[in-house]
Amino acid sequence: MGLLVGLIVVVIVVVDQLAKGWVVRDLPAYTPIDVVAWLRPVLSFTYVKNTGASFGMFQNMNAVLAVLSVIVLILMVIFQRTIPPQVWIVHVALALVMGGALGNLIDRITRGYVVDFFDVNFWPFAAWPVFNVADSAIVVGVAILLVDSFFLHHLERATADA
C-alpha cells in the first residue's frame, strides 16, 4: 500500500508544480485569462499569490501555515501507517490530501506564497475563491474520507449484522 500512496503523492505534487510553473511563467498576476473561449462564463485562469489559507483566511501568515503543514503531514503519515491495507480507499484519500498539502507547502517554502489559478464563476460558486491542483486534491481526499466515515462504515456494519 505504501507504493500506491507514494505514487499518488508524487503524481499530485508533479502535476501541481508543473501547472503552477506554467501559471507563474505565462500568466499576468491578478488578471483573468480565458484560455478556452467557450468556457469563459464558467472558468478563467487568474494567477493569484495567496499568502493565507482557504477562502482568504489568515493572510500574511505564510510561515505559520508552512509549519502547520509540516506538522499535519507528519501526523498524516503516522496515521496512514495505522490503517489496514485492505482499507485502500482511506489510503488513497490520505495520499490525495498529503500530495495536495505537500504541493502547497513547496510553494510556501520556495515562493513565500501559494500559486492559485482556477477561477470558477458559476452559480452556486459565484464567490468561490481561486484555487489550484493541490487544493483540488485536498478537497477530493477529504470528501472521500467523509463519505467513507459517514456512509461506508455504516454499510459494512449493516452487512456484518445481517
Task: Give how far Cα 11 sits from Cα of 17, 21, 143, Å.
Answer: 10, 15, 19
Helix H or strand E encompassing 23: helix 2-26
Q: Which of 16, 107, 116, 119 is catalytic?
A: 116
135 is catalytic: yes
- Say which of 16, 107, 119, 135 is annotated catalytic: 135
CB 45 within 8 A of CB 35: yes
CA distances from 129 to 20, 47, 62, 86, 149 (A): 16, 12, 18, 36, 27
Our answer to whether residue 116 is catalytic in this structure is yes
Place of cell 517554502: 109
Which amino acids are annotated catalytic? 116, 135
